[in-house]
Chain A
């Protein structure tokens, strides 16, 4: 039995080896090339599928490596972005300042009869009951007490204190501020006082009873009293009160200036407040 198997197996193996050798010989000569091509097609197809899968896996691993490098790149870029954002904020500030200064410049061009000193608002009064601002120009720039302070939108206030390089400006909204005003349409006079402690608005008092007041009407400085030049815009009428039993009318005004965001102002330096105290003294002597 074993001998028979051995002879059979040797025979089979011998035949197989001969077949194999013939196959190698035929393949080496290239005769089997068309057959090989046809037979290889399905195997190549399957190999292609595996290869794509393998490439996907490899690229997934590669991508994970890319993700790490990209993450580091993002950190670097975020750092650069933060620096650029800080620079951008600075540039925006400059652009904003430029716009404001350009507006002031156009105002100064328009007001050619006025000598103006541009000042930056550097602080607010520390007393909450006082509505005043500190500017960065003082006597060295020719600023003196009582000089009017304006913007292109109108009157800001007056210099109430001054040092060599700084000055304190009393805002028109201050409770102690009183300015002679005039209604632009009716030309009626009145006294504009600040209501800074209550609601920040202005009130025009002592308007003649028969004066016709319209909402939205502008109020400008009258120049009476000699403290301020005439025709500086103080504000706009928002409402008025007309009681029959009162001898005068009063109106509420809103300044066109947002005092909370005020950054630059102009000081009119060629205006000298008139000193009328001498007349009071003369009256007193008489």
Chain B
């Protein structure tokens, strides 16, 4: 079911990010709704489903960007791997850890995409990326993650009635 849900949810998120989120820029940065959805969904979703979400979300984002197709997927995949590795070793995933995952995932995503952009000739200086992209995005993700996580968790508990994470 999570596979089917990914398409409308991520397309809508990408569309929102391409339109309304542009109005919420602070110091040049805006929230990455697709990244938030993919990472938060991936925490409790099966690996294959998380990878699928990463592909759908990343490609959708890249279709609305100058960045080459798949660039956004790369960072998400790396983060999903890290999340899954940590989730297996941890007995319980609390909200702080979720926030940590998201912030780390944001840093990785921005780093990877800007590296690819730099290869493509659209690079910014690391200082500018940190100040004008990373810091505002981290702030937004910290603000937005909790309500989104609650919604996602509620949906996943309906989709996967068994307690714990399906791996």
Contact = CB atoms under 8 A, between A and B. Distances in A.
- The answer on A and B forming one complex is yes
Interface of A: 2, 5-6, 8-10, 12-13, 16-17, 19-28, 32, 36, 39-40, 42-44, 46-47, 49-51, 53-54, 58
How many B residues are at the interface, by size bracket?
35 or more
12 contacts: A5-B88, A12-B48, A12-B51, A16-B51, A21-B70, A24-B68, A39-B59, A40-B63, A43-B15, A43-B63, A46-B11, A50-B20
B6 interface: no
Contacts of B47: 8-9, 12
Given A28-B120, A46-B12, A51 B18 contact: yes
Interface stretch (B73-81, B100-108, B156-164): B73-81
B163 to A, nearest CB: 18
B42 interface: no
Interface string B129-166: 00000000000000000000000000000000000000
B99 interface: no
Closest 10 CB pairs of A and B: A23-B70, A27-B69, A50-B19, A27-B68, A51-B19, A40-B63, A46-B15, A47-B15, A24-B70, A28-B68
B51 A50 contact: no
B109 to A, nearest CB: 13
Interface string B56-75: 00111011100011110110
Given A13-B81, A23-B68, A39-B59, 18 more contacts: A5-B167, A6-B85, A8-B47, A12-B51, A13-B51, A16-B54, A17-B78, A22-B70, A24-B68, A24-B71, A25-B68, A28-B120, A43-B15, A46-B12, A47-B19, A50-B19, A51-B19, A54-B23
B19 A36 contact: no
Contacts of B71: 24
A40 B63 CA distance: 6
A5 B144 CA distance: 32
B14 interface: yes
A202 B108 CA distance: 109
A49 B60 CA distance: 16
B73 A43 contact: no
Contacts of B54: 16
B95 interface: no
B8 to A, nearest CB: 10
